[in-house]
Structure 1
Amino acid sequence: MNDAPPRPAQPRNPLHGLTLEAIVCALEAHYGWRELASRIPIRCFTHDPSVSSSLKFLRKTPWAREKVESLYLYMLRKGR
């Protein structure tokens, strides 16, 4: 039995329901690895980048994940 309260809906949160993988893939498709590495200079984007290596790093590194999510939100705003 799960006694956790139900999570409130987040209709205005553009990240709600998105996986980190979907965010990284969208950024890579939009910017490419080279541009992504220049905007967020972290090793998983600059040295032999891949989605899987990026996910491993970003899941363990909150500050880097925050930067990636921030860039994704910026990309969404600019796309409108």
Structure 2
Amino acid sequence: MGATDVIASVKAELGKPNSLQPNKGAGIDFSLFLAVLGKICWELYIDGLVVSSDGNLLDALGASIKNTLLLLKAFTEDLMTSCFSSRLL
């Protein structure tokens, strides 16, 4: 990707799912994002910032967004594990 530099960020908010398809979004099964089935879901806002472009811009943005989402997934899994394990003590 040469000297292409990009930054990605993800913002997560609680929202209301579509009443016609509460576990779908953009043609993708987003059942993992449901906080309360049919009532509350996670809405993700993804921002990509191009710092410098030296080719393969879409590849760089895609990789940056994928890594950011993987970090978000790991963080939420750790958070859920610590929340539930502390309740069991």
- Normalising by structure 1, we get a TM-score of 0.35
Q: Between the two structures, name the one with larger relative contact order (CA 8 Å, sep ≥ 6).
A: 2
Which protein is richer in helix relative to its size?
Answer: 1
* TM-score, normalised with respect to structure 2: 0.32
Q: Which has the higher strand share?
A: 2
